[in-house]
Chains A and B, each alone.
Chain A
Amino acid sequence: MDSKVISATRNEQQLTDTAAAAYVITQDDIRRSGATTIPEALRMVPGLHTARISPSKWAISARGFNGLFADKMLVLMDGRSLYSPIHKGVYWEIQDRVIDDIERIEVIRGPGASVWGANAVNGVINIISKHSADTKEGSITLFGGDKYGAGLRIGWQIADQGYARVYGKFLRDESFTNILGNDAGEEWTSGRGGFRLDWTNTDGKHALMAQGDIYYGVYNENLAKNQAPGIDGPENVFLLNRVIKNGGNILARWNYNQSLASRMSAQLFYDTFQVQESANNPGSYNNEIVDFDFQHVFAPNEAHELTWGFNYRLSLVQLKPSTTNSILVKEYFPKTFQNNRFGVFIQDKWRWNDDIEITIGSKFENHNNNDIEIEPSARILWKAANQHRVWAGVSRAVRLPAVTDLTADKPPSEKDVFKFNQYAKLTSDEVISYELGYRFWNSDRFSVDVAAYYNQYKNNLFGNLEFVSWYPERLTNINKSTTLGLEAAIVWRPVDWTRFQLSASVLDTHIRSFRKIPNVFSISPNKDPQFLAAFRSSFDITREVELDLWFRYADAATGVLSTQAIPGYVTLDARLAWKPNKNLELAFIGNNLNDSQHTEFYDGTGPNPLQVERMFWLQGSLRF
């Protein structure tokens, strides 16, 4: 409860006094979870459905409509948006860092569009890396077992107030079996490297930060062999498809502390990404993004804190589909699509009196697909008593259509009816969200955090099947829907050396009406479990020995077709660590201990769902 949160208002504030459903994963939480990648760490967020589809694919979303193409979460890494204009969501497999370089991960459930803009519909995930002054010591991590990898970071001081670090990371994960229990053959191998520089001038008024990453990853998908009895040849429609994803990014930010009452920042980033599919006939898709962002916060008087800013994003999406993919070829040919997006936002945090804080703001955005999109938000925080906080909010957020969205002008039963949104004809889908929350904490021993929401969606566009074989009957087409949900987390530290966290969330989705067309989607609410629960416990058995146990439960999901139903499951993860001194840590980690294999999520993109296996690995970390 002592954490700070920047993602709710773009300004740092106390977690306890945040008028939004916020959760912070600390570096220590990540370390003790045994996570080797970012998505694994996100599993600990109450109310965030984090399900693994294959070694490289994840479905991560809060408050419903989850899927491989989950398109309602805005994910940021050090201020850089990870929302892919091709995927209309996040390619989770390519988002990684040396785990020790992550300072914290903030997760806001609920809209964040009034400051972040479009696509922050159901939530914002903000991955924040450490300042390079905090990584002056080197670190090396090696792990091996059912998955293996290595991470190396070297940091140093380069000037009086200048610091730098470089990192490299390698990961190979070949877990997962298919439904017959055979190796799924979808192993994910990736390598990446990057840097961060921080520099501050002598009077502390100006600070510069620059960082960059490059990465390369390979996996196989839709391997038909041994998937089902009688299917064992490459002649099957589900060919072994070798997918290569690579890219890089570079970001620079300037912070200017004009005075005690005013500070501003400007940020520029460039991001490039390419995915190549090379079955018999390669297709490739790539995008380039240039984004400029400016923000100014100032306090004109005691009662108000005003923040305003603007953002411009240019994205280029180039599609070079495989000639075997008749729909894509017909629609696109090789072509580049340009997207411009410009937005301004303004926000006032008004301390009405000692007990009540009101935050009102809106973003106004212009995009290829719309004239202007208004994304307002009004939130109130009531400091009801010492250690008791009540908050409420109403907000609107939109998801902007992407060029790869599908539309159709004939009934889906006919052939070749699908078209892509290349002429920017689709309208945004929107949510109006009503939220209510309560927090209580008693010192650092006990805390309760509860949030309830009612969301009204209109013109929902739940993503599509991207560039893969698909079945028209699986497509659903929703116009209006509502979700109602409750999320709760309790943290209890009975003694210094023990910590428990119990969390649970329920979700109830109602489809109010279906559309006749023109927007066509493959993602449906039927893939969301209606109930999620987790219990995490951490014990410092001695000064040197740590034990962590983590239970998770996900309710059954019906699936779009009955054959796609995912039964409910329970998993148990454990970590036993020995820290003989402050620089060395050895950990033995096991995942899914209670079950040799189970399916967490099925998105219909392979012939059958894949299954997460029981896994063990040893991990050693050394600081030098």
Chain B
Amino acid sequence: MSRLLKILRFLSLSVLLVVFPLTGIAQEKIFGEDTLKALYSYKFALFTDWPEIKLNDSHTTIEFCIIGRNPFGQTALEAIEGKPVKDKRLHVEVYSNGVLSEESLQNCHVVFISTSETQRLPALLNSLQPFPILTVSDIPGFSNRGGMVTFIKSGDHIQFEINPDAIKQAELSISSKIIELAKLVKTTKEGT
């Protein structure tokens, strides 16, 4: 597929994402669920504001960290690798075995928690909570358990849930354009 075509498709998707609430029948056919989730994740990065400390010169890239098995597939990651976010480039790093150093974690702007890590989710969220990092996952109930953004597959659509309290606590802010598209939820199982 040519680069131009990719860009065009991406632009059309972006328009659809913002203009039409939670659609996805046609695009999923084009992109596949995985690519779509990766593109949505990038979209979230575009519409998120981090505190200054995460955007200063010590951060040369916007780090998109995947903890656990890459759920998107290589193709999807390549679709978002290097894309611009806030004058920086998005860089994707996959920590397949779920182990990353404190230092690596501090570099992350977005952490995507893969379903392979479902069982240790409470422990993961605990270690992520104090930091201004946008947490995204497709583990069901992720936002209810203190995560920020959850992808939900309902039929052929991809929708998402957002936990605004969790975002606020982490000193992040997310654009109202995104919030309007989401189903808002609260943390229901604190600390579990």
- Footprint of B on A, CB under 8 Å? 1-2, 4, 6, 11-14, 16, 161, 200, 202-205, 207, 257, 259-263, 297-302, 304-305, 386-387, 441, 443-444
Contacts and interface: CB of A to CB of B under 8 A. Distances in A.
Nearest to B102: A261
Interface string B115-139: 0000111111011100000000000
A263 B102 contact: no
**Which of A263, A302, A386: most chain B CB closer than 10 A?**
A302
Given A12-B69, A260-B124, A302 B97 contact: no
Contacts of A13: 96-97
Given A263-B98, A297-B99, A386-B78, A204 B69 contact: no
A458 B1 CA distance: 50
A260 B98 CA distance: 7
B69 A4 contact: yes
Contact of A2 (B70, B99, B104, B128): B70
22 contacts: A1-B74, A2-B70, A11-B97, A13-B96, A14-B74, A14-B96, A161-B119, A203-B126, A204-B119, A204-B122, A260-B102, A260-B124, A261-B101, A298-B99, A299-B100, A299-B104, A300-B101, A302-B103, A302-B107, A386-B81, A441-B74, A444-B75
Contacts of A4: 69-70, 96
B56 interface: no
Nearest to B81: A386
Dominant secondary structure of chain A at its interface with chain B: loop
Contacts of A205: 120, 123
Contacts of A257: 98, 120, 123
B119 A207 contact: yes
A115 to B, nearest CB: 13
B176 interface: no
**Which of B67, B99, B123, B127: most chain A CB closer than 10 A?**
B99
Contact of A297 (B75, B97, B122, B127): B97
Interface string B72-104: 011100100100000000000010111111111
A259 B67 CA distance: 13
B192 interface: yes
B105 interface: yes
A298 B122 CA distance: 19
Nearest to A259: B127
Given A4-B96, A260-B127, A386-B78, A202 B101 contact: no
Contacts of B121: 204
Given A257-B98, A444-B73, 17 more contacts: A4-B69, A11-B99, A12-B97, A14-B74, A16-B74, A203-B126, A203-B192, A204-B119, A207-B120, A259-B127, A261-B100, A263-B98, A298-B99, A299-B99, A299-B101, A304-B101, A443-B75
A1 B76 CA distance: 13
B189 to A, nearest CB: 10
Contacts of B127: 259-260
Contact of B70 (A11, A14, A444): A14
A575 B56 CA distance: 59
B145 to A, nearest CB: 10
Nearest to A1: B74
Given A1-B74, A2-B70, A204-B122, A261 B96 contact: no
A161 B189 CA distance: 15
Nearest to B125: A204
Contact of A204 (B78, B124, B128): B124
Contacts of B192: 202-203
B156 to A, nearest CB: 15
Nearest to A387: B78
A88 B127 CA distance: 46
Contacts of A200: 119-120
A207 B126 CA distance: 17
**Which of B94, B96, B127: most chain A CB closer than 10 A?**
B96
Interface of B: 1, 67, 69-70, 73-75, 78, 81, 94, 96-105, 107, 119-124, 126-128, 192
B123 A14 contact: no
A358 to B, nearest CB: 17
A202 B125 CA distance: 13
B100 A203 contact: no
B146 to A, nearest CB: 12
A43 to B, nearest CB: 26
Contacts of A304: 101
Nearest to A198: B119
A526 to B, nearest CB: 41
Nearest to B104: A302
A567 B94 CA distance: 48
A113 to B, nearest CB: 21
Contacts of B126: 203
Contacts of A204: 119-124
Contact of A203 (B73, B78, B122): B122
A204 B142 CA distance: 14
Contacts of A305: 99
Contacts of B78: 386-387, 443
A386 to B, nearest CB: 6
Contacts of B103: 301-302
A386 B92 CA distance: 12
Nearest to B120: A204
Nearest to A5: B96
A149 B102 CA distance: 52
A16 B96 CA distance: 12
Nearest to A13: B96
A176 B99 CA distance: 50
Nearest to A16: B74
A474 B80 CA distance: 61
A2 B96 CA distance: 12
A586 to B, nearest CB: 27
A299 B103 CA distance: 9
3 closest Cβ pairs, A-B complex: A204-B120, A299-B101, A11-B97
A603 B47 CA distance: 66
A207 B100 CA distance: 19
A300 B121 CA distance: 22
**Which of B75, B107, B121: most chain A CB closer than 10 A?**
B75
A301 to B, nearest CB: 5
B102 A202 contact: no
A8 to B, nearest CB: 11
**Which of B69, B120, B121, B127: most chain A CB closer than 10 A?**
B120
B74 A260 contact: no
A204 B116 CA distance: 12
B183 to A, nearest CB: 25
A263 B94 CA distance: 17
Contacts of B1: 443
A31 to B, nearest CB: 20
A387 B102 CA distance: 29
B17 to A, nearest CB: 22
Nearest to B127: A260
A114 to B, nearest CB: 17
A446 to B, nearest CB: 11
B111 to A, nearest CB: 10
A480 to B, nearest CB: 38
Given A12-B69, A259-B127, A298-B99, A2 B119 contact: no
Contact of A260 (B69, B105, B119, B122): B105
Nearest to A263: B99
Contacts of B124: 204, 260
